[in-house]
Amino acid sequence: MPLEKASWCININFQKYAVYFSHRVNPAIGDYMNQLYLIGIDLCQELWIYYSHVKVTAHLLSVSNIDRQSIYGAQKSFARRAKIYSGALPMRKNRLSRVTKALAFVDSQDDLHTLALSIDKRSQSFVYCEPYNAAACNAAEVETVISINVNTDAELYIVNNLSYNPYILKGGTMEAIQNRAITDIYELVNLLIKVIAVMEAMRFFIVRKNSVFKTPPYIIISHQIKDLVGSAVLKMSSILQQSNNISFSKLRLAMPSLPLIKIYASFGLVKAMLLDLIRDCINLYCHKKRYPDIEKVLLSYDHGLIIMQSELGRAHTTIRNMNALPVLLSTWIDLPVAGEWVLTEVPARPVVPPGSHASHAESNKYCIAKNSGIAKTIRPAGHGINKYIIYTVRIGLFSNLCLALVLVINIPQGSTGCRVTVFATTFSTIMGVMRHSIYISLDTRSNKSHTKSVIIVHNQQEASGDLL
């Protein structure tokens, strides 16, 4: 390095404690520098971090800066737990730098804490490769795949479409480095919010299991509320099956604004994931205290509710656990972690009954429950992009629920049949390997007839009820 360049580097960074002149110096040059005994110039050994499976686990581990400190991923979050602290004697000093009190001694014999992530290595590697092959054959693009173990509330794998090589960060983009499963936000349009709204309405005794709804189109502030398939009267057991907008708008207008927003948050839709990973997401509707009627109706359709894919999986896990909000884990913990009870099972049982026909057979071995919809991409500034992405949430197995899968696929030119093919092929492929990872047995109801539907209400024969 020329003397002028070295002087320039020092003058530019005169406030810093140290200035790096060069990295990965040849050992021969390093030995020669040590023999010169230059005052103020030191050599430090640069550590080399080994990344297993490189791109497959890049979003889960870390990215290190120039000082060998993790700036992203699990290694940054667990830095305090995975570090050996040398022996030290903490002291308190006064303004004259005199020791006034010696605190407790820090033991230097603490062993290095071994952190075992809940991510299954075999499943992570398999899911990174196979779903993209199925999507590529159907002119689709897999965005994100997330899987949650319903019984243990542990993240089994988190796979993103765009990944990077941790060894070669030069030329990489921030879009590839960020973990899109916990940073990208979407405006979802699906049945999940409607299910939560029904349970909240039953908790306030606004409706009962045998309630009946009149569904003629009506107008709210010059906006007509209607459905594509009109029905004169619908029972409570049919509004979720048909996803009737008029019935849900009436339920939403009958409830106050704040309790429903709180119930959305209690199901984990607008709460922090607490996965000890970097997260950058906000909800734009939680700071209001009053809502006009048209916004209440839109929230009943989950228009405007901005969440992440991982929050969507947690909400479905909560409903499966009979409204017990789980604490999702990214590390392996033997002892169970207590969750949070959202609602009692009384309003949940009619909506998510055991043994109902909310299932869809995609193979001759497995029977699952599904919930699909579309999502609108949201920029970090809060502005929407005129681009919609198809996603699905599937919970299996039906006889023994143990796996929740969130799959986001972008099909710009795919038809409805193409979407079903991609989702069915991808899920069947993933279930084939997950059966051996978490020891899933074959479904006992796989040989019976099933109907293609989502989470529904019991189809019971009611003699009477409220007419809304």
Nearest-10 Cα torsion for 23, 27, 29, 31: 120
Model pLDDT for residues 37-57, shown as the tens digit of each residue: 877 777 777 666 666 677 787
Please state the rounded mean pLDDT for residues 423-439. Answer: 70
Instruction: Tell me which residue has tokens 């550590």.
Output: 47
Q: What percent of the chain has pLDDT over 70?
A: 46
Range with the lowest mean pLDDT among 138-142, 224-228, 339-343, 463-467?
Answer: 463-467
The alpha carbons of the chain give a radius of gyration, in whole angstroms, of: 27
pLDDT band at residue 340 under the 50/70/90 scheme: low
Token pair, residue 467, equals 């007419």
Residue 43 preceded by cis peptide, ω within 30: no
Spans of all domains in the chain: 121-437
Token pair, residue 216, equals 């003629």
Q: What is the pTM of this model?
A: 0.65
Beta bridge partners of 141: 410
Residues constituting the chain: 468
Whether residue 438 has pLDDT greater than 60: yes
Alpha-carbon gap, residue 411 to 418, rounded angstroms: 8
Cα angle vertex 320, ends 350, 152, to 5°? 155
Whether residue 453 has pLDDT greater than 50: no
CATH class of segment(s) 121-437 = alpha beta
Alpha-carbon gap, residue 389 to 213, rounded angstroms: 32
Q: How many CA atoms lie within 13 A of 286 on its CB side?
A: 13
What are the distances in angstroms from CA 258 to CA 63, 344, 412? 41, 19, 37
Instruction: Tell me which residue has tokens 């984990």.
Output: 268
